[in-house]
Structure 1
Amino acid sequence: MREKLTKTDVEKIQAEIEHRKLVVRPECLEAVKEARAHGDLSENFEYHAAKREKNQNESRIRYLENMLKNAILISDTSREDEVGINNTVTLYMEDDDEEEVYKLVTSIRGNSMHNMISTESPLGKAILRHKVGERVLVKASDTYSYYVVIKKIENTSDFGDEIRKF
């Protein structure tokens, strides 16, 4: 699947790749070298653990490089009065008679535990490009849908959110 990434997402991914290549990779190689020096490799737990960590780091680098190679670059700018990427949105949930606050992000940054919803999620797709005061139908599945009202939009394009680890 081709990920939709903002310029900020790309910069974060490039920074992680660079960190993994320049810092983590040499540390892993040194750990493997050190563990190999302890003798018999067949029963050397440190050696196997160091090799596993080295391989996981290399796998992560390949994954991120592939993601960048196949990514679709999207804009994170939106009009001041409409919901866009990196906006924090206060929604009135009619069914629950409650307000909830979400930050709309790209799919690689989505994290429902921290109220960061992806533009690919049913709620994210529904509210994207809508304005304060609008009542929006969210189609959660073929059999369930609900309405939300957009109460407030704040631009919160910060750089503090991490890329979700896979």
Structure 2
Amino acid sequence: MNQIPMTVGGAEALRTELKRLKQEDRPRIIQAIADAREHGDLKENAEYHAAREQQGFCEGRIQEIEAKLSNAQIIDVTKMPDTGKVVFGVTVTLYNTSTDKEVKYKIVGDDESDIKNNLVSVNSPIARALIGKQVDDVAVVITPGGEVEYEIVSVEYL
């Protein structure tokens, strides 16, 4: 499997979720299954079937996180030389030439992306247009509504 780029924060969030799943959710679900079994006939026992379904989701998510972490390429941009170039993990401030507005994005891994918090996936069209550019460069992003031009105002290795 290919390595998955991930920020330090993204890897830490996955580790925290994994710990919660293993130490809290898994034991709670096992207890719910045991409690539901005590109610007798399992064929028509909704609590039992719901708990088994939850167990499936929990175990599936545990496997998914463990696989991602084992293939993670954790990139700490604060330990990289600040070349001024847009690379994975940087925070970039952009000026939208058509709306006269500035926007700030951090380029992160797929699992970490959250547009509401200005975290864009490295595989998104905007990140792909920005990678390798530097301050004062113009990046053209192809969007469903047409081309959008962004001028790079700053690149921060935070």
- Give the TM-score range, shorter chain: 0.7 to 0.9
Checking the alignment, whether the CA contact within 8 Å between 1:133 and 1:149 is kept in structure 2 is yes
Matches within 5 A, 1:12-91: 12-69=13-70, 71-77=71-77, 78=80, 79=82, 81-91=84-94
Checking the alignment, whether the CA contact within 8 Å between 2:110 and 2:121 is kept in structure 1 is yes
User: Aligned with 1:104: secondary structure?
Assistant: strand
Checking the alignment, whether the CA contact within 8 Å between 2:110 and 2:122 is kept in structure 1 is yes
What value does the CA root-mean-square deviation take over the aligned residues? 2.6
Distance in 2 (alpha carbons) for counterparts of 1:88 and 1:54: 38
Q: CA deviation at 1:14?
A: 3.0
Q: Which amino acid aligns with 1:102?
A: Y
What per-residue deviation string (whole Å, max 9, x for no partner) do you get for residues 22-65 of structure 1? Answer: 22111110011111112222222211111111111001011112
TM-score, normalised on structure 2? 0.80
What per-residue deviation string (whole Å, max 9, x for no partner) do you get for residues 65-84 of structure 1? Answer: 22233x25152324163334
Cα distance change on mapping 1:18 and 1:54 into 2, 3 Å = same
Distance in 1 (alpha carbons) for counterparts of 2:153 and 2:102: 9
User: Aligned with 1:38: secondary structure?
Assistant: coil
Residues 1:127 and 2:130 are matched in the alignment: yes
- Residue 136 of structure 1: aligned partner: 139
Residues 1:115 and 2:128 are matched in the alignment: no
Could you tell me the percent identity over the aligned residues? 31
Checking the alignment, whether the CA contact within 8 Å between 1:7 and 1:73 is kept in structure 2 is no
User: Aligned with 1:43: secondary structure?
Assistant: coil
Paired residues, number:
154
Distance in 1 (alpha carbons) for counterparts of 2:21 and 2:150: 42
Q: Which amino acid aligns with 1:30?
A: Q
Moved segments of 4+, more than 6 Å: none
TM-score, normalised on structure 1? 0.77
Checking the alignment, whether the CA contact within 8 Å between 1:104 and 1:119 is kept in structure 2 is yes
